[in-house]
Amino acid sequence: MNLEEVARLRLVTLGDEAPKTVQSLESGLKDVNSELRLMELNGQKGFDAWKEFKKVQADVKDEIKDLTKALDINDATWREHSSMC
């Protein structure tokens, strides 16, 4: 399965909710970032909970990047298909 097929499958699964999902992930990322800053201010940087938040932060960033890329691929494919019709 290539990247375009994965992108299409993901969008079929999420449907019209994909842009809302990206917005929701971005909102959650802001919360994670705020919590990390608060923990750092309280001298908790490096603690297990802080490390877990850093992992969550990285995972959410990757998911946003992947989903945005899938949306872009889907949009480009749709435009290409529409121009052929």
**pLDDT tens digits for range 65-82:** 988 887 777 666 666 656
Residues in the chain: 85
Helix (H, G, I), strand (E, B) or coil at 44: coil
Which pTM value belongs to this model?
A: 0.70
Q: Is the pLDDT of residue 55 over 70?
A: yes
Q: Name the residue type at position 83.
A: S
- Structure tokens belonging to residue 60: 């959410």
C-alpha to C-alpha distance for 27 and 14, rounded to whole angstroms: 18
Q: What is the pLDDT of residues 5-15, one digit of tens each?
A: 776 676 677 66
Task: Note whether 58 and 65 are within 8 A (CB).
Answer: no
